[in-house]
Amino acid sequence: MAHHRLTRFGEREGVRSSSVLCLFEDRAGTLWVGTDGGGLLRFENGRFEALTQREGLWSDVVMALAQDAGGRLWIGTHAGLDCWQDGRFVRDESLPPRRSEPFSRVLCHKDEMCVVINGFLHQVQDRKYLRKNPGAEPPSDIADAALRSGPSGQLWFGGLSGRLSTSSNGVLTLVPQPAEASPDTILDVCEARNGDLWLGMASTGLRRWRNGEVLSLTVQEGLADNCIRCLLEDREGNLWIGTSAGGLHRLKPKKLRVVTTADGLTYNVVMSFAQDSDGDVWIGSNGGGLTVGHPRAVAPIKAASSGRKQRLLTSPAALDMEFAPADVSYLLDNESIPSVLAARDGVLWLGTWNSGLFRMTGTKLEQFHLGRPENEQPVLALCEAAAGGLWVGTYQDGLKFFKDGVFTSPLTRLSQLEGDFNFF
């Protein structure tokens, strides 16, 4: 197992300010650090070099960093947007005119650059800052605090009152909020590779949007702080969460999903299950009868102003299941079902503890007894025979063969077994 160690960098290594506002690694592998009062730091050869107002930086408060397709580093400061290229600050007419206002976010995506100036989103085009509003929303409701690009190619913008916008082909649209989402400022947005959308909130913790549903994680679920300032998904699918006062968290994806009666199972003691050709999962319980799980397809979220469909879930691996009691027959309501078999012809076979064998064809249910009602044999195992018929394993009476409604002992069928077994 690999071991990781955290190294502290301080004034001895050239870090003059301990308040770090942003980090960025450029395509050459150089680490850039934006600080609150210490200017812009460049990490090379184990030390940090500071670029401050003394070297020409507009402000020593550096709030955002991004690199465009041409390799230029764009620096959002408290006193305007700066540009670094070929080892110097660029000051020429090819750049947008200076605006001595806070540039809190900068995003370079393909040939597009977006910035947040004094809290409001602008697109940089032809040396101009174009104010971008999603639809006809009031300006007070669309101030943005988060700009991110996702693996799907979409741009995400998060702001006040939990408003989330997305951009495609230069068109900015507002994404409808789930009804259960409480209003709060979005400080960061992270679109995961599986399609989940994670939102870092200013005071209500972490939110996950999946299939139009919201999952909220707060201090009650283990966070040390409900103010989430930054988010990052690593190559292993872990989500790293930077908080305002609670340090760094790592959220690891679950390898297994636990399904219980809260999800629709009839009983938490599961004895058997099988999946049919339609993808439905049939689950036999110990005294709770039969549960069926249906695949739940991903539903798109419709953008409010443009009519385009923005998918928050796009990965086939993100498909989920809906579980509910199988409304088949009262005979199975409280039955123990130790064995379930989905046969090749679409028939579902159910082996019970007290009621023998059942065959379900569509909505039709047929019952077959292995003995008298007071001496019914529990059916613990089922196997489809290659030559047709069904092998049935019972609790006390050994192995049975079932075909055309009749149970027989294998001893009476030795001459017919060649198609199923080889004997030595």
Give the tens place of pLDDT for each residue, 224-270: 999 998 899 988 889 999 888 888 898 887 767 788 898 899 999 99
Q: The domain 11-251: what is its CATH number?
A: 2.130.10.10
Question: What order do you get walking across the sheet with 112-117 strand by strand?
Answer: 103-109, 112-117, 120-125, 128-131
Show the beta-strand stretches assigned E in 259-332.
Answer: 270-275, 281-285, 290-296, 301-302, 309-310, 320-325
pLDDT tens string, the chain, 424 residues long: the values are 455 677 777 777 777 777 888 899 999 889 999 999 999 999 887 788 899 999 999 999 999 999 999 999 999 999 999 999 999 999 888 888 899 999 999 999 888 899 999 888 888 888 888 887 765 454 545 567 788 888 888 889 888 878 888 887 667 788 887 776 778 889 999 999 988 999 999 999 999 988 878 889 999 888 899 999 889 998 888 999 988 888 889 888 776 778 889 889 999 999 999 999 989 999 999 999 999 999 876 444 333 333 333 333 333 333 478 999 998 888 898 899 999 999 999 999 999 998 999 999 988 999 999 877 777 889 999 999 988 899 999 998 889 999 999 998 876 555 455 455 444 4
Task: Provide the whole-model pTM.
Answer: 0.59
Going from N- to C-terminal start, the domains of the chain cover 11-251, 266-419
Show the beta-strand stretches assigned E in 98-220.
Answer: 103-109, 112-117, 120-125, 128-131, 144-149, 155-159, 164-168, 171-175, 186-191, 197-201, 206-210, 213-217
How far is residue 206 CA from its own chain's centroid?
13
pLDDT of residue 153: 84
Class of domain 266-419: mainly beta
Q: Environment class of residue 6 by beta-carbon count within 10 Å: exposed (0-12), middle (13-18) or buried (19+)?
A: exposed
Please, what is the end-to-end C-alpha distance for the chain in angstroms?
Answer: 47
CA separation for the pair 102, 344 (Å, rounded): 67
Say if residues 56 and 68 touch (Cβ distance below 8 Å): no
Q: What is the pLDDT of residues 277-288, one digit of tens each?
A: 989 999 999 999
Instruction: Give backbone dihedrals phi and psi of 153, rounded to 5 degrees, phi first.
Output: 95, -5
Fold match flag (11-251 vs 266-419): yes
